[in-house]
Structure 1
Amino acid sequence: MLYFVQKTLLSTFFYLSFTVLLFAQSNEFIYGDLLPDAPELAQRGQHSVGVQTINLVHKNQLNVLKHKDGVTPTYDRPLTVEVWYPALISPQQKEIEVYQEVMGNFNDPKRPLKPFTFKGRSLRKAAAKTEGAPYPLVILSHGYTGSRYLLTYLAENLASKGYVVVSIDHTESTFRDAANFSSTLYHRPLDQLFVLDEMDRLSQKGSGSFLSGLVDAKNTGLIGYSMGGYGALNASGAGFSKNALQLFKAVSGGCEALAERLAGSEVYAKTQDERIKAVVAFAPWGMNSGAWDSTGLAGLTRPTFFVAGSEDDISKYEKGIKAIYDGARNANRYLLTYQNARHNVAPNPAPPEALAEGLPIDEYLRYADSVWDQRRINNINQHFVTAFLGIYLKKQDLNEYLQLKEKAVDGNWKGFKPRTSIGLEFRHQGAN
């Protein structure tokens, strides 16, 4: 009798294990999918999502990497961008894309480049959905180093909600081609503004692009992570300080090209672009290195949503991101803080390849947080960015999702399931 019971239990165990395995295989978790405790607005929208790659060239740009003896030559600067958009996809087509990515760092023998792939919920070269167009434009800008695929969970989610989302591979700042930091310091806001111009151009009638008639570039949201946030703030009105120029000169061999991006510069004033209606800055770098002062931050007037980890050891918190939030007194601004998180409050989760034995831990820590589940961070970001951009780009009535008590432990936040907003803080200040 005991043998029969043991055999039955063993058979049941193997049956359940096999069933769980089949369920896991048929219900694969893809970056951006919802966890059971995901907040309300994290869910995807009504649109299917297409994706395409576009190669752009920003001509006659200063090549700060070649600055020598007081002379800065020019070059044609290539920029590859990925575009996600509302699409027409038949039930017979599978809305899955396999992205080609690398881990490691260019020219770092301790971290050689290693290709890997990961899946997303979009379809390559799907037909664009013109019903409802033109759609607001969202520009994504990665950190140093990074790639245009670093925030696919957010790009696909926003495209499903009726946005055209373009993410930039910032030349000389990606995993594949990282160069001296001076290139990122100088080119980051210029890349963002150039891509805005190009999306506007390609959206025009007769452009020959699939984007023709699809994009409302006059209604643009700019999203940046780390150095992308640094660029987004400068592209949106936060002129750099004289300290920023000194930092740039120190890393560029004396080049003074950044002077044109300083607060008070006539050249800088002429680059202010009214097409940018809202900014999201994930862990923006720079304040901790003196990139801004009170004069520069006063120039930020657009609605801005900051996201930070309270223990950020790259951009810093109290003297970094929160100091930017406090100093941007002329902007209607928000600050979402992940308590005890560090810098990685924006990217996709770490790929399985980053867990391989023998790899430098930095390949894992490029994506992961040691306290927070990165998939949960992704869901929360989807929720809040949906609310913020919905209010300021689509005029949607979503304000109740941003009218919250400062500390989540003081009560359940709108859109969060009971007891699931723990570990978060939220601040809001109107413009002066």
Structure 2
Amino acid sequence: MNKNETTLKAFRASILHFTADPALSEQAHHWHEDGLLVLEDGRVKTAGDYDKLKSTLPEGALVRDYRGKIIMPGFIDTHIHYPQTDMIASPAPGLLPWLDSYTFPTERRFEDPEHARSVADFFLGELLRCGTTTAMVYCTVHPESVDAFFGASEQRNLRMAAGKVMMDRNCPGFLQDTAESGARDSEELIKRWHNKGRNMYAITPRFAPTSTEAQLQLAGELAQAYPDTYVQTHVAENTDEVAWVQSLFPKARSYLDVYDQYGMLRPRSMYAHCIWLDNEDRARMAATGAAVSMCATSNLFLGSGLFDFAGADKAQVALSLATDVGAGTSFSMLQTMNETYKVARMGGTYMPALRMFYLATLGGARSMQLEGTVGNFAPGAEADFIVLDPKATPLLERRTTRTDSLEELLFALAMLGDDRAISATYAAGKQVHQRGE
């Protein structure tokens, strides 16, 4: 048996992936109705029309037949809290009381490594069941919660970014670190986990109100010392929060400016929500390479506001989609597209399905500075992909058999799809989820 026969895998299906933002280019996607995806050693070798590529396969090569389904890159969720899995769908009148009543008490339990690992295993299973192969994940203030998460991710060989929450004020004492301990623990975790396998570390001050200036200063110094790590935090989610930040940091021009003053606006920095930004903020994000994580579901759930798509596009800020579980009420990026479409319409923007699928794949990869690693089927990219089933439910089947364009087909999947539409999920070329198993 030759080398190709042992390492090469091939999959036949309709194939979709992106090379550009459909909002900026008419040639942004590749669609092969009868396509072939060829992998070697867990990476993409090629993707294209079946008739053109079948002759390139070695004699006797096995081809997994997914005809009638769509193969596309795995979804990328750029903002999600794994410790909040058990408190998803918790009632509260707004962000700040929701944190006090549910979030902080739930996160307290993550000082227990066994509890943290149990939740991490369930959380990753849910992501894979929903077709998400890469995520930017918040742990808790406890280093044990990070070890548990990365251990579970490493076992599945997933491309994940995560970090210990840094929080030294305006929180319960049982969740409070100090400026020094938060930075010290974060640096130790960076050295232990960053770029170990497919794990990536994210420096994670929860949000400006729960960090002193000393802690933000040390977080910014870490961000500069380790430029290939990520920075993740929240900004301008809620008007009460924005007013609170203004009272805590009166010298800052804006909420975003607080982070900018401490060197945390840079490539590989991800800012969740970004609802109440102004044009100067957006221009600054674009200039520094910082990215926006749009969280439509949680913004609706908490009544935070509507994201300004037109303003973000005018500033050419990097955009991505996120579920924001547990304020988000679904792990499914398809359900997130559904909510994103509606938020965009309420703000006067029409969001085509092609662009939503771009934002959930290559858009997320670009926002994370991972283009060429994940997010599309460029040769050499890691083979993280999903198999979408347009006939997953009776209603989906009835609707998708009546579509007459790719846009209409994808729109139906975005509006009507959920975890049931994910037939299979692959990470680095290995199947990590099969519907029904």
Q: Which TM-score applies when normalising by structure 1?
A: 0.36
Q: Identify which of structures 1 and 2 has the higher relative contact order when contacts are C-alpha pairs closer than 8 Å and 6+ apart.
A: 2
* Rg larger in structure: 1
